[in-house]
Amino acid sequence: MSSLEPLEELTAQIRSSPKYRHVCIEIIRNLGSRELQKTGSLKKAIKATRKKLHQIAGAYFLTRPKYEEWMRKLRDAKKTGCPETFRKVCIEIMKHHHSTNMRLKNIDEFYNALFSKLPPIRSIADVACGFHPLAIPWMRSSSTRYYAFDIYEDLMEFLKGFMSLAGVEGHAEARDIMQNPPQVKVNLAFILNTIPVLEQIEKGAGIRLLNTVKADYKVVSFPVKSLGGKDKGMRGYYESFFQRMPQKHWDFWKLETANELVYVIKSLK
Ligand X SMILES: C[S@@+](CC[C@H](N)C(=O)[O-])C[C@H]1O[C@@H](n2cnc3c(N)ncnc32)[C@H](O)[C@@H]1O
Please report, as ranges, the residues that interact with ligand X according to CB under 6 A: 27, 56-57, 60, 99-100, 128-130, 132, 149-151, 176-178, 192-194, 197
Q: Can you list the alpha helix ranges (DSSP code H) found in 81-226?
A: 83-94, 98-101, 107-115, 153-166, 195-201, 205-212
Beta bridge partners of 250: 267
Q: How far is the CB of 79 from ligand X (least distance, A)?
A: 27
Q: How many residues does this entry show for the chain?
A: 269
Q: Return the closest-CA partner of residue 168 out of 193, 190, 148.
A: 148
- Residue number of the CB closest to ligand X reads 130
**Is the CB of 99 or the CB of 141 nearer to ligand X?**
99
Q: How far is the CB of 3 from ligand X (least distance, A)?
A: 29
Angle at 158 between CA 141 and CA 70, to 5 degrees: 95
**Is the CB of 66 or the CB of 249 nearer to ligand X?**
66
CB under 8 Å to 114, separation ≥6 — which residues? 219, 255, 264
Q: How far is the CB of 185 from ligand X (least distance, A)?
A: 19
**Is the CB of 74 or the CB of 134 nearer to ligand X?**
134
Q: How far is the CB of 199 from ligand X (least distance, A)?
A: 11
